[in-house]
Amino acid sequence: MGFDKTAIERIFKIPVVNVENFQRAVTHSSYTKENNMHFIECYERLEFLGDAVLKLTISDCLFKKFPEYSEGALSKIRSIVVSDAVLAEIAKKNGLSELIIMSRHEEKQGCRNLESVCACAFEAVLGAYYLDGKFRELLEYINTTFASYIEEVDSNSSKYNAKAVLQEYTQGLTKETPVYRVVAESGPAHKREFEVEVSYQENVIAKATGRSKKEAEQKCAYEACKILGVIK
C-alpha cells in the first residue's frame, strides 16, 4: 500500500509504535473491498475509538478553559469543534488527506476530499495513537491544534447558534417559525449523511448536509441567515 509511518509522525509530531494500526487508520473501506481484504483492515473500527478519544480530549480542554460555562454551553462548542467540517479542514491542511488509501474508483470520484472521509481518517489516527498509549501526547496535540477553532466558535456564537437566530428573526416578522425537512440520506448505517432544507412561509431558503440531522439543520440555518442578511 505504500504506507509510510514517518509521514504520520511529521504531521502529529508523536512517535508511531504499532505501524499496522496506523496503516489501517488511513485505509478506506473501498480499498479493502477492492482487494478482498477483511473489513477490520480499514479505518472504521479505529474511527469509532478515535471519535470517543477526540470528544474526551476536547471536553477536557473546554472544561479547563471555560470554568464558568454551563454544560449546555460546553456541549454546543464541542459539537461544532468536532464536526466533520473542522476535522476535514485540519486533515487537509496538515496533509493527512493525501495519505488516505482508497480504491481507484473512489479516487477518481474525488472521495479523497470528502469531509466525511477526511474526518474519519483523522479520528482513526487518534484511535491508533490511543492504542499506542499516547493519550497525554494527544491531549497536548489537540490543545494546540484546536485552540483557534475553539476561540472562533466562542467568539462567534451567533454564527454557530444559527437556528435560534433564524427562528427569532422569522418570529419577529410574522410569528411563524422556519420548517426543516430531510430531503436526502446517504452513506452506510453507521455513518449516515443527511441533506436538509429549511423553508419559511413555504419558500425554501437554503439546503445543507451534515453527519446528523441536527448538524445539517444548523448548517442550513446558517446559510439561510446569510441569505436573509441576518448574519453577515
Dist CA 191 CA 188 (whole Å): 5
Q: Residue 40 is placed in which grid cell?
A: 477490520
Question: Nearest Cα to 23, choosing from 160, 131, 174, 110?
Answer: 131
- C-alpha cell belonging to residue 232: 453577515
Q: From the candidates 44, 106, 115, 123, give the one annotated as an active-site residue.
A: 123
Query: Three-class SS of residue 139?
Result: helix
Q: Which H helix or E strand runs over 11?
A: helix 5-12
51 is catalytic: yes
- From first CA to last CA, the distance across the chain in angstroms is 46
**Which residues fall within 8 angstroms of residue 12, CB to CB, at 6 or more apart?**
125, 129, 141
Edge-to-edge order in the sheet of strand 203-210: 179-186, 193-200, 203-210
d(CA 72, CA 58): 15
Q: Sign of the CA dihedral 129, 90, 66, 56?
A: negative
Nearest to 42 by CA among 23, 65, 66: 23
Q: Pick the catalytic residue from 44, 47, 51, 154.
A: 51
Active site residues per annotation: 51, 123
